[in-house]
Amino acid sequence: MTATATRPARPRRPHARPKGISRRTREMWLLMLPALVPVLLFSVGPLLYGIGLAFTDARNTRNHETSFVGFENLVELLSAADFWSSFRIGMIWAVSVTVLQFVAALGLALLLNENLRFRGVARVLAVVPWAMPPVVIGLMWRLVYHPDAGILNSLLGTEINWLADFSLALPAIIVVGVWTGMPQTTVVLLAGLQGIPKELYEAGEVDGASRWRRFWNITLPQLRPVIVAITSLDFVWNINQFGLVYVLTQGGPGGQTRLPMLFAYEEAFRYRFAGYASMLGLAMAIVVLAVLGLYLWRQMRETR
């Protein structure tokens, strides 16, 4: 992926001798080789291996002979109720975290874009969650939600076991997800806001547009490319979330927070069905690509 994205455009001068071009190309490949090898070895290789595994009955055991089974894993996956419930939970999680993250981050970005006192400090503070690894965030929030010693229960005066309650566990982790992902969304939106020309607002003011109209008709359309980019990245990031939820709930209670990636992990490393888990990973990758493709395509069409 990276390799194709960063590959420089081939120099094509119409009058150059054909031999020169091929030599240049060869040199370019030679120079790129050191960068390509790790990509092939550590990204493309495992990826292809994983895709291959998805069509076998591979198990993480010592005395099992792996054989090719074609689409058997996919058939089994599509008929498994726990896959669909995990998929549903994954979608609820990814969509709600992405949307809430976007709304909250947009608010924060607009605020930080105003000429406030201590704006510099506030901007730095807003980025703090970004500096924390997901496992640390998970541990920290587990303390917040702790049924006896947690700060949340003592603030509200309740005795709720947030992460163990069947109906509250998912909302509880969604809050953590929003909190975790806000900084990068905020920073990107803030950068976008600062790129909007001031003249547009001045013109709007002259025409007597209210604050709300200026936001709706100037800020949002101007921000559009940034919004499309950050929400799609956030969506991919969120649906692939693993560490945070693994630390918070391990998928419990009773599978109520079992995101697809947790499901795949359990299948592979707890129940040892490596082939099945690979198919699950592959299926999720296809779903993400499809959703993203559709979304980006629609956005592009509307902008045109």
Partner 1 sequence: MRIKSALAAAAVVALAAACGSGGGGGSSSSAPSEPVKINFLSLAWQKESVAANKQLVDEWNKANPNIQVTYVQGSWDNVNDQLVTQFTGGTAPDVIHNDSPALSGFATDGYLLDLKDKLPAELKSDIPQAAWDTVTFDGGKGEQGIYGVPFLQESQVIIANKKLLEASKVRVPTADNPWTWDEFSEAAKKMTKDGAFGVAWPMKSPVNKTLNLALTYGGTFFQTAEGKTTVKVGPEEREVLQRIHDQLYKDKSADPAALGQGTADPLPAFYKGKFAMLPAGVFLRQQVAEQAPDGFEWVTLPGPKGTTAQQGAVSQTLSIAQDSKHADEAMKFIAFFLNGPNQAKLAKGDWLLPTSQSAAADPAMTTQDNGWDVATASAKNLVVAPFLKVNGFDEWKNKVATPVLQEFYANKITIDEVAKRLVDEGNKVLERYQR
Q: Which residues are near partner 1 by CB under 8 A? A: 23, 26-27, 29-30, 33-34, 37-38, 41, 59-64, 82, 147-148, 159, 161, 164-166, 252-255, 266, 269-273
Reduced to 3 states, what is the DSSP secondary structure of residue 68?
Answer: strand
Please, is 51 exposed, middle or buried when counting C-beta atoms within 10 Å of its C-beta (0-12, 13-18, 19+)?
middle
Minimal distance in Å, beta carbon 24 to partner 1? 11
Residue 42 or 216 having the CB closest to partner 1 = 42
Please, is 152 exposed, middle or buried when counting C-beta atoms within 10 Å of its C-beta (0-12, 13-18, 19+)?
middle
Minimal distance in Å, beta carbon 155 to partner 1? 19
Could you give phi then psi for residue 54, rounded to 5 degrees?
-60, -20
Residue 129 or 252 having the CB closest to partner 1 = 252
Q: Which amino acid is at 104?
A: A
Minimal distance in Å, beta carbon 102 to partner 1? 33
Residue 216 or 269 having the CB closest to partner 1 = 269
Q: How far is CA 290 from CA 235, 258, 283, in A?
A: 12, 22, 11
Structure tokens at 251: 């998928």
- Lookup result for tokens 């607002």: 201
Minimal distance in Å, beta carbon 252 to partner 1? 8
C-alpha dihedral, 211 to 216 to 222 to 226, nearest 10°: 110
**Who's near 98: CB < 8 A, 6+ residues apart?**
231, 234, 235, 238
Q: How far is CA 161 from CA 129, 143, 153, in A?
A: 24, 12, 9
- Lookup result for tokens 């025409």: 207
Region of residue 64 (phi > 0: left; psi between -120 and 50: alpha; otherwise: beta) = beta
Minimal distance in Å, beta carbon 131 to partner 1? 26
Minimal distance in Å, beta carbon 133 to partner 1? 17
Residue 65 or 207 having the CB closest to partner 1 = 65
Residue 216 or 271 having the CB closest to partner 1 = 271
Minimal distance in Å, beta carbon 101 to partner 1? 29
Residue 61 or 210 having the CB closest to partner 1 = 61
Residue 96 or 161 having the CB closest to partner 1 = 161
